[in-house]
Amino acid sequence: MHTQPPADLVLNITGLSKQFGTGATAVQANDGVNLAVRAGQIVCLLGHNGAGKSTLVNQVVGIALPDAGTITLAGIDAIKHPARARQLASVQAQANVPITGLTPRKAIQLVARMRGASKQAAQERADHLLAALDLGPWADKSAEKVSGGVARLTAFAMAAAWPGALVVLDEPTNDVDPIRRRLLWQEIRRLADDGAGVLLVTHNVHEAEAVVDQVVILDQGRVVTTGTPADLIAAQAGESLEDAYIRLVGPSQADDLAAAA
């Protein structure tokens, strides 16, 4: 019997598999991955370097095609209609988007306008994000004159400028100072509270633990476990999400995760 998916299901991935290469050198980047993100929910994709996180994200936004499985984004088959899926998703990539010749304010406004905001709405949204992330001193400076941390915060603000049904954030806190990281986590939470589904890729286990709703742990392309931070910690008899991660994937992989943080 066919059943309709829940109305609040923004992203639904089933049986996703992706291999690179053939024969003895083949790498199974994703192996039967199942993952769901609902509206208003932050789902953290946690795993060491090479676990398959970026490959999964690339398939969600149509940069790579899976070998098997399905990806449904806001009711759209993202594999058959990648261009439409990209319209429904806002993405902060791991590498900052070059905004040479623009200021942070102009870059944020430009993205909001491109995604359908009116001129006034784009200006108001930029004003909010610049204030919320404490970017006022750099708001109108040329992008070539801002630090890596400010550039990273600007990249987040561009993704959050006029968010789609799904917001994908790949390592959003890299290079950001501790004070503004706290502000950034607040804005990430606000995105979900305002109704977006958020897929968060991060190495920052400690900070993510307090903000995310669900954690999906990947290891060697497979989902090891899924649950709330509290449930995963309790199931592994640990004191933190990092404890749970170490017990699930082993200390050598956890060292890799920490080194990349």
Residues 6+ apart with CB under 8 A from 48: 219, 249, 253, 254, 256, 257, 260
What is the H or E stretch that residue 29 is in? Answer: strand 27-38
Total-model pTM: 0.90
Distance CA 3, CA 248 (A): 33
What is the H or E stretch that residue 253 is in? Answer: helix 251-260
Which CATH architecture describes the domain 9-260? Answer: 3-Layer(aba) Sandwich (3.40)
Residue 6: what pLDDT?
61
Domain edges within the chain: 9-260
Amino acid sitting at position 203: H
Per-residue pLDDT of the chain (261 residues; tens, 9 = 90+): 444 456 699 999 999 999 999 998 999 999 999 999 999 999 999 988 889 999 999 999 888 999 999 999 999 999 999 999 889 999 998 887 788 889 999 999 999 999 999 999 999 999 999 999 999 999 999 988 999 999 999 999 999 999 999 999 999 998 999 999 999 999 999 999 999 999 999 877 888 888 999 999 999 999 999 999 999 999 988 888 888 888 888 765 544 544 444
